[in-house]
Amino acid sequence: MPNFIILVVEDEDAIREMLVVVLEQAGFTVQAVPNAEDAQRFLNDTLPDLILLDWMLPNLNGVEWARRLRKEPIYQELPIILLTARGEEEDKIRGFGCGIDDYMTKPFSPRELVARLRAVLRRSSKHQWSPQIIVGDLTLDTEQHRLMISDKVVEVSPTEFRLMQFFMTHPDKVFNRTQLLDQVWGRSVYIEERTVDVHIRRLRKILEAYGREELVQTVRGFGYRFSVTQ
């Protein structure tokens, strides 16, 4: 299974700690915070694969925070599972529409939680997280963390691997440096845009060895495109 990052936002210590144990045992990388403000700070540096979000939080509640997140393009498709206490109205939760991908009523069994979480991850990521992404004669195996061109294994760094993963799941679209930074590196404020250029150059060099440097195209004045149709 690819290494999914789950952000847990839960103010009750005992539940938060239980969630961390359960999710880590299930093989997820987990970051847990007690409120929406800390969660927002986490998002500034890292884009998780899913947020497990308690509804009733101090200050800003989970539903309100989720609504704000959905207004930003980068978070529109980020899966969110809402945790609710018994007694909170289910019809209200259903009314959230596309804001929430699923919800679970406390108390729930760890097994059910993990199953629902995997289901949401599968639904939300038809292409990006399937174990193999195949584009032409390129195969990216996200389980074995391996890139192959015509069945030859290509050596790439973790960053170039993520860059390839993003490109191969978003072919023929133009992305500017900021978008690539957000999608491939997460929203770190410490990384400069020219870092993208450095990694693109390295990636091209690698592809060049296989005669495939034309896959990564520069779109002057805007950014880059992974072009599979030429």
54 lines the binding site for Ca ion (CB under 5 A): yes
Please say which residue, 11 or 141, places its beta carbon nearer to Ca ion: 11
Q: Residues near 198 by Cβ (< 8 Å), separated by ≥ 6?
A: none
Total interface residues for Ca ion by CB under 5 A: 3
Using the contact rule CB under 5 A, the part of the chain among 32-40, 50-58, 171-179, 214-222 near Ca ion is 50-58
Please say which residue, 54 or 160, places its beta carbon nearer to Ca ion: 54
d(CA 55, CA 66): 10
Nearest approach, Cβ of residue 50 and Ca ion (Å): 19
Using the contact rule CB under 5 A, the part of the chain among 8-16, 136-144, 196-204, 222-230 near Ca ion is 8-16
DSSP state string for the chain: ----EEEEE-S-HHHHHHHHHHHHHTT-EEEEESSHHHHHHHHHH---SEEEEESS-SSS-HHHHHHHHHTSGGGTT--EEEEEETTS-HHHHHTTGGG-SEEEEES--HHHHHHHHHHHHHHHTTTTTSSEEEETTEEEETTTTEEEETTEEE---HHHHHHHHHHHHSTT-EEEHHHHIIIII-S-TTS-THHHHHHHHHHHHHHHTTT-GGGEEEETTTEEEE-S--
Please say which residue, 59 or 178, places its beta carbon nearer to Ca ion: 59
Using the contact rule CB under 5 A, the part of the chain among 48-56, 125-133, 167-175, 194-202 near Ca ion is 48-56
Nearest approach, Cβ of residue 42 and Ca ion (Å): 18
Among 56, 93, 114, 174, binds Ca ion (CB under 5 A): 56
Please say which residue, 19 or 181, places its beta carbon nearer to Ca ion: 19
49 lines the binding site for Ca ion (CB under 5 A): no
Among 2, 5, 11, 61, binds Ca ion (CB under 5 A): 11
Please say which residue, 23 or 180, places its beta carbon nearer to Ca ion: 23
93 lines the binding site for Ca ion (CB under 5 A): no
Residues of this chain that bind Ca ion (CB under 5 A): 11, 54, 56
